[in-house]
């Protein structure tokens, strides 16, 4: 599913929005989510799941082609943990 698909579905389901208004709304939601995650805050959407930014420490690794050892730098990664409601919906449970 693409952002354009999401915009189309918002137009269909909510109604009363033009395509441009729906696009602005979807874009605004994504901007708020992005800014929140950039600040290192957690996003919890009830019935859907949690988006969490984790800090990974530097660690040793190796180049798989040459076998030379390298240091993998510290970085931030985004993780998603689905809620039990979403998990059961994916598995066809009531």
Structure tokens at 64: 């798989």
pLDDT of residue 17: 83
pTM score > 0.85 for this model? no
- As a whole number of angstroms, the longest Cα–Cα distance in the chain is 59
Taking 70 as the threshold, does the pLDDT of residue 79 lie above it? yes
Residue entry with tokens 């929005």: 17
H helix runs in 15-83, sequence order: 19-38
DSSP category for residue 73: P
Q: How long is the chain? A: 94
Token pair in block for residue 32: 């708020």
pLDDT in tens, 36-77: 999 999 999 999 999 999 999 999 999 999 999 999 999 999
In this predicted structure, the answer to whether residue 94 has a pLDDT above a threshold of 80 is: no
pLDDT tens digits, one per residue of 10-42: 988 987 888 999 999 999 999 999 999 999 999
How far apart CA 76 and CA 62 sit, in angstroms, is: 20
């Amino acid at each position: 599913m693409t952002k354009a698909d999401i915009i189309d579905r918002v137009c269909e389901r909510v109604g009363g929005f033009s395509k441009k208004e729906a696009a602005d709304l979807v874009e605004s939601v994504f901007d708020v989510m992005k800014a929140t995650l950039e600040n290192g805050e957690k996003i919890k959407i009830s019935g859907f799941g949690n988006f969490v930014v984790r800090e990974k420490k530097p660690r040793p690794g190796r180049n798989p082609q040459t076998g030379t050892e390298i240091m993998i730098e510290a970085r931030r990664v985004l993780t998603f943990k689905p809620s039990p409601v979403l998990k059961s919906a994916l598995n066809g449970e009531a």
